Amino acid sequence: MSSDSQSSKAVWEKFTPQKRLDRQMYHYGHFSQDFLWGVSSSAYQIEGGYDQDGKGPSVWDVVSNNPGTFNNHTADTAADSYRKVDIDVYLLRGLGVNTYQFSISWARIFPSGQKDSLNEEGALYYDNLINALIESGIQPVATIYHWDLPQALQDKGGWTNPSIVAAYKDYAAFCFHRYGDRVKSWNTFSSPWVVSHAGHGTGEHAPGIKDYVTASYQVTHNILKSHAEAWHVYNDNYRKTQGGKVGIALNSDWAEAADPNKPEDKEAAERYLEFMLGWFAHPIFIDGDYPEVLKTQIEKKRNECPSSAPAVLPSFTEEEKARIKGTSDFFGLNHYTSRLVSSSVGGCTPGPEGVGDFQAKVDPSWPATASDWIYSMPEGLRSLLTHIKTKYLAVNNVPIYITGNGMPTNDSGDTLNDVSRIEYMRGYISEALKAIETDKVDVQRFTVQSLMDGFEGNKGYSERFGLHQVNFVDGYRPRTPKQSAYFFAQIIEQNGFVSRKQDYFEGVKISPPLLILYFSFLLFLQK
């Protein structure tokens, strides 16, 4: 047996046979009557209209229009949601969701990134979307920033420039003032770790900066301060009159020791979580500062590597710590996959694994997806939810919202019969229910990523996350529900899993006349 297989096997052998069986069984039952079901999207991935009605360019506009994306795909038109509000809301009504999480394009509202460049037509688009959602009985959940920084701000250093905190504060204040009478749930940021790690560390995402020594840590520093300022703006000026909640949607894998019998692997798994989730969660939910493990590990590397320190961590003042601590009305979680982590000697190599002295891998038995980083391991969600409850919510016991969970399929073959996505969703939703009922974790919302296929960065349209297929060849960008859309609609209608007899989803049985009528109506709407 290979060492990889032995390590993977060890993870499961720490449980008794009955416990291993319990972990793999689906959990049947209902969620609470006030539980919220939703789907998500992000502005740049679906809106299109990249230069329409006064919108300014974003960092992703610049990157995607340069060679490097899959087949030179761009998001210039994307799913054309900028012109299809009614169609998108129609799809949401068909699913039966009670929340829709979308993001606002900073560059569409403030083309220069500054408040004096207000673009009224861009702002009106979100008015129309929000109003259409409310008219359909769907709660709008708005993300203020989802990776698409105005290029005009990037030209001044973007998230590495401390001046961005004031610009973001103005932008957030405008969003609260303009839309807060109708939007009652706000994410200041979605998956900010990706901005720091992939945008400014590995350079895989826009703006494509490869500087894990300084830039990525400075970006996190400014994002945390920006988040806190936005929360205080809402708390001081809008909470009493609008009655909403402001939080942040943090992304994190779950991490387990590759060999649970090795204390060093357990410690390495803890470091993995601190370098990913704790980097943002610890300042906001615990004490306003970075995790002690993160600071200790970086100081250790500074001493070991005097001529080439692999990480430079900025410091918060005492005033900044107090300003950041406690600035979230809920714990937003984007979660997709898990890792098996072992201890290693990272040396003077920049990046989380080098600085954190760990190595991460996946169990080869976990089902793969179209993404090279997402493997299905639903049990990891339950473990992560319990970890969050214990570590971050012991004092400030806010609810947890699952703000993103999903997987991509390939853009090939029979894309409408996405059985793998159905099994993925079934597993993760089941584990969320276990966490609620067995572990008493206060999870109040589950959001599936995403409503429809969209632009996936350097993967272009080759990876599809949507519950609805988008035809990116047809100029009308027609949408077609996949089997997973019907499955999710069934879960929502039943508010969970109704019986043990429901071990699999048989698919949708629609008579041909009804099917023709349905698609004819969709086509009519889309034209």
Kindly list the structural domains of the chain, giving each domain's residue range(s) and its CATH number in brackets, ordered by start: 3-497 (3.20.20.80)
Tokens of 258: 């590759």
Tens-level pLDDT at each residue, the chain (527 residues): 333 333 333 333 333 333 333 445 667 799 999 999 999 999 999 999 999 999 999 999 999 888 777 888 999 999 999 999 999 999 999 999 999 999 999 999 999 999 999 999 999 999 999 999 999 999 999 999 999 999 999 999 999 999 999 999 999 999 999 999 999 999 999 999 999 999 999 999 999 999 999 999 999 999 999 999 999 999 999 999 999 999 999 999 999 999 999 999 999 999 999 999 999 999 999 999 999 999 999 999 999 999 999 999 999 999 999 999 999 999 999 999 999 999 999 999 999 999 999 999 999 999 999 999 999 999 999 999 999 999 999 988 999 999 999 999 999 888 999 999 999 999 999 999 999 999 999 999 999 999 999 999 989 999 999 999 999 999 999 999 999 999 999 999 999 997 655 555 556 543 343 444 455 555 556 55
**Angstrom distance (rounded) from CA 431 to CA 437:** 10
Q: What angle (nearest 5°) sits at the alpha carbon of residue 497, between those of residues 34 and 506?
A: 130
pLDDT of res. 500 = 54
Q: What is the pLDDT of residue 498?
A: 77
The answer to whether 436 and 443 have CB atoms below 8 angstroms apart is: yes
Cα-to-chain-centroid distance, residue 386:
19
Q: What was the pLDDT predicted at 7?
A: 35
Provide DSSP, 345-382.
--TT--SHHHHHTEEEE--TTSPB-SSSS-B--THHHH
User: Rounded to an integer, what distance in angstroms lies between the CA atom of residue 361 and that of residue 338?
Assistant: 9
Asked if 311 contacts 211 with a C-beta cutoff of 8 angstroms, the reply is no
- DSSP-based three-state secondary structure for 496: strand
Q: Is residue 325 within 8 Å of residue 287, measured between CB atoms?
A: yes
Q: Cβ(29)–Cβ(433) under 8 Å?
A: yes
CA distance readout (Å), 239 to 180, 284, 288, 445: 9, 19, 22, 21
The residues near 303 (Cβ < 8 Å, ≥ 6 apart) are none
Sign for the CA dihedral angle at 444, 375, 277, 59 comes to negative
Q: Can you read off the two tokens belonging to residue 94?
A: 């068909």
